Chain A
Amino acid sequence: MREITYREAVREAMCEEMRRDESVFLMGEDIGAYGGGFGVSAGMLKEFGPERIRETPISETAFVGAGVGAAITGMRPIVDLMFSDFMAVCYDQIINQAAKMHFMFAGKVSVPMVIRGAAGGGTGAAAQHSQSLEQMYCHVPGLKVVVPSTPYDAKGLLKTAIRDDNPVIFLEQKKLYSVKGAVPEEEYTIPLGKADVKREGSDVTLITYSRMVPYCLAAAERLAGEGIEAEVLDLRSLSPLDRPAIVASVQKTHRAVVVHEAVEFAGFGGEIVSVIMDSDAFYQLKAPVKRVGGLFCPVPFSPNLEKETFPTTERIEAAVRAVCKGQRSGGRE
């Protein structure tokens, strides 16, 4: 199968949906000739023209709000926020407007809109351009939150998100943009709310998403050398959340480590742990569930400092070893 980058996969999803449905359009800062802050929309202006590849002033509240207004009157906007951190600039339009309308207006209107943003760290962009704020959106009823880790998932999930009648926050991890992966030429979509087992294992489940998926896969390979078979469960979307997949995997492995790049304290990992604790899988746990997340600090600039902020494969491995201690005896720690 051919291989394309995550960036190209996102672009292909948008182009295919714009060809399929003329109410779909893209708007955001510098998405035209410049090709978007991360080159995602390169070439799209040429195919679709400036009406549908609509460049905006640096005015997030206005253009995200315009996305809401267009969505409730029959269009299907994709809003490119460049850095997802900028959602803090236009929070009202996302939280108080887009998320609330379907419910508050008694189902008389829906808000079919995708808000795309580059998320996460690892690029030296420092405190205001490196955050992983997905848990904040998950907490708001009315939003859907998608966090793909591979080109295949990014394309299939974005196509579904564009066809969804609700506001979807689609977070693309910057470090993944240049990662290549197999993506079929034929059309496909991936439903939201379906996790994917990226690696089968029997001893422990690593529950993760986005950039931490490749980290967990690398850690799992190393751990296999020590006789620990880790399952890697990629959630792919956080809202809706595939709770049955989490519970089923933990019921199989009896151990779990939750890994995300976002700050660990009050992060989405807490919700994942709660899913396990609230289910029958709790009775089958052989060790406490551990979390590995970002440090409780703004993302610092210097490469040395930044690297320490986020989970490393070493930290993931250490957490797995801790929950697997005494694994061979099969005893409960």
Chain B
Amino acid sequence: MSEISDRSLSYDREFLRELMVRMMTVNRFEERIHELFGQGLVHGTMHLCIGEEATGVGTGAALKKDDYMLATHRGHGHALGRGVDIRAMMAEMLGRAGGTNHGKGGSMHICDFDNGILGANGIVGANGPIACGAALTIKMKKIPDRVCAAYLGDGASNEGAILESMNLAAAWDLPVMFILTNNTYGLSTPIERAVRNTDLAQRAAAFGFPAWECDGNDVLAVYETVKKARDYVIAEKGPVLVVEHTYRTSGHSKSDKNLYRSQEEIRYWEEQNPIIRFRSFLLEKGIFSQEEIDGMGKEADQAVQDAVDYGMSCPEPFADSLERDVYAGEYAGVYGGGFDAGFGTGREA
């Protein structure tokens, strides 16, 4: 069901601007935390999505405000594409109390439950089953016009959790959108070495639901495809698969030395970056001038700078309540024995 947009749709200028600013913001955010990591200000690891900016932004724009969304470990673009507060996100990268997860989650677990963002997941493929559950709530509570979108990569497509959840979503007619961003590599393993049939869109038919594919580096194609697929979910009350073909030009994580692919390949895809392509589109169609687009870049730079300033101004989290924060509800004081139990570890001595 691959469809190429004829672009006869007339877009709102402000909407196109918003897409560009968001993609630029994702790109700057990634570049900046990479830099902060180098300076020792961000610790741990992170999975950057440079080159994939159109997937999170285009998909996010096609979802509705109340839709649920579950991101992957490479989820910064998914979160920013759905409008997570960039300042709280940056504070989380910096491990600060003002972060989206108060410093307890970090890069792989960005969440915003007030806005339907049910958290990014560090376990590849694990969000598929959880998406089924969120969609089950939509179905059981008969909530109109809402879907649950779960991102996954080509790597996750071979996880049992994903295959099981595709089956469950189909068997139960759940409003789940499986958003497969095929970025060509599962860490360092190219897709053709991971599967015999690299046409991942065909998987949907085996489970009895449709798939759409698009050029994942074309933000408008992503937007239109996801929008169409979402309409299908609402109308037919069943799941869909959307495959967005893209390429990760940044390394898998902080420790990636790019030993598994050539510099030529990376350079080729850097030229295909969705921001470069969208800029060409906007200029060719005469929608925005070069000057206006440069202004969008500055806006993105400013948003990221403000986020860094905010994050750096947030205090470090205190470690005085770690055991208390494990469970919802009244603290029973009988678990770890550290702070309240009065028995146990000797820490009280």
B304 at the binding interface (Cβ < 8 Å): no
Instruction: Count chain A residues whose beta carbon lies closer than 8 angstroms to a beta carbon of B.
Output: 55
A106 an interface residue at 8 Å Cβ cutoff?
A: yes
B329 touches A56 (CB 8 A): no
Which of B68, B118, B148, B168 lies in contact with A62, CB distance below 8 A? Answer: B168
Determine, out of B8-16, B159-167, B196-204, B261-269, the stretch whose residues face the partner at the interface. Answer: B159-167
Are B130 and A104 neighbours in the complex by a CB distance under 8 Å? no
Q: How far is the CB of B2 from chain A (nearest CB, A)?
A: 28
The answer to whether the Cβ of A227 comes within 8 Å of any Cβ in the partner chain is no
Bound state CA distance, A51 and B173, in angstroms? 12
Number of interface residues of B (CB under 8 A): 53
Return A96 CB to nearest CB of chain B, in Å.
5
Tell me which residues from 130 to 147 in chain B have a Cβ below 8 Å from any Cβ of chain A: 130-138, 140-141
A72 to B164, CA, bound (A): 20
Let me know if B101 and A105 touch, CB within 8 A. yes
Task: Assess whether A69 is in contact with B131, with CB atoms less than 8 Å apart.
Answer: yes
CB-contact partner of A107 in B68, B123, B168, B328, under 8 A: B328
Q: Mark A102-121, 1 if CB is under 8 A from B, else 0.
A: 11111111111000000000
Which of A150-158, A179-187, A239-247 lies at the binding interface? A239-247
Asked if residues B130 and A68 are in contact (CB atoms below 8 Å), the reply is yes
A65 within 8 A of B: yes
Answer yes or no: B186 CB below 8 A from chain A CBs.
no
Residues of A47-99 whose CB lies within 8 A of B: 51, 56-57, 59, 61-75, 77, 92-93, 96-97
List chain A residues, Cβ under 8 A from B335. 141, 239-241
Assess whether A105 is in contact with B111, with CB atoms less than 8 Å apart.
yes
A146 to chain B, nearest CB (A): 13
B164 touches A62 (CB 8 A): yes
Q: Please, which residues of chain A bring their CB within 8 A of the CB of B134? A: 69-70, 72-73
Known interface pairs A59-B168, A243-B341. Does A66 touch B326 (Cβ–Cβ under 8 Å)? no
CA of A104 to CA of B109, assembled, Å:
7
CA distance in complex: A77, B133 (Å) = 10
B75 within 8 A of A: no
Closest residue of A by beta carbon distance from B165: A62
A67–B138 Cα distance when bound, in Å, is 13
B80 to A: closest C-beta gap in Å: 18
Tell me if A275 is interfacial: C-beta within 8 Å of chain B. Answer: yes
The answer to whether A75 and B129 touch (CB under 8 A), given A63-B168, A96-B123, A193-B332, is: no
Kindly list chain B residues whose C-beta atoms are within 8 Å of the C-beta of A166: 327-329
In the complex the two chains form, is A107's CB within 8 Å of B161's CB?
no
Inter-chain contact B168/A66, CB cutoff 8 Å: yes
Most buried by B among A56, A92, A110: A92
Contact A69 B328 (CB under 8 A): no
User: Is B105 an interface residue, CB under 8 A from the partner?
Assistant: yes
> B19 interface residue, CB < 8 Å from A?
no
Question: In the complex, A112 Cα to B165 Cα: how many Å?
Answer: 21
Contacts of A57 in B (CB 8 A): 167-168, 171
* B166 (CB) vs chain A CBs: closest residue: A62
The answer to whether B109 and A243 have CB atoms under 8 Å apart is no
Q: Is the CB of B161 within 8 A of A65?
A: yes
Residues on B with C-beta less than 8 A from A72 are 113, 118, 130, 133-134
Q: Is the CB of A108 within 8 A of B111?
A: yes
**Min C-beta distance of B156 to chain A, whole Å:** 13
Bound: A73/B337 CA distance, A:
32
B32 within 8 A of A: no
Contact in complex: A65, B133 (CB < 8 Å): yes
Contacts of B133 in A (CB 8 A): 65-73, 75, 77
Question: Complex formed: what's the CA distance from A165 to B341 in Å?
Answer: 21
Query: CB of A26 within 8 A of chain B?
Result: no
Cross-chain contact B113 with A109 (CB below 8 angstroms): yes
- For A59, the chain B residues whose CB sits under 8 A away are 164, 167-168
Q: A residues within 8 A CB of B161?
A: 61-62, 65, 92-93
Cβ of A25 to closest chain B Cβ, rounded Å: 7
Asked, given contacts A62-B168, A66-B133, A69-B129, whether A103 binds B325 with beta carbons under 8 Å apart, the answer is: yes
Given A62-B164, A109-B111, A278 and B104 touching (CB < 8 A)?
no
* 5 tightest Cβ-Cβ pairs between the two chains A and B: A69-B133, A65-B129, A110-B328, A62-B164, A66-B133
Instruction: Give 6 A-B contacts (CB < 8 Å), ordered by A residue.
Output: A62-B161, A64-B129, A75-B136, A92-B123, A106-B101, A111-B328
Please list the residues of chain A having a beta carbon within 8 angstroms of any beta carbon in chain B.
25, 51, 56-57, 59, 61-75, 77, 92-93, 96-97, 101-112, 141-142, 144, 164-166, 192-193, 239-244, 247, 275, 278-279
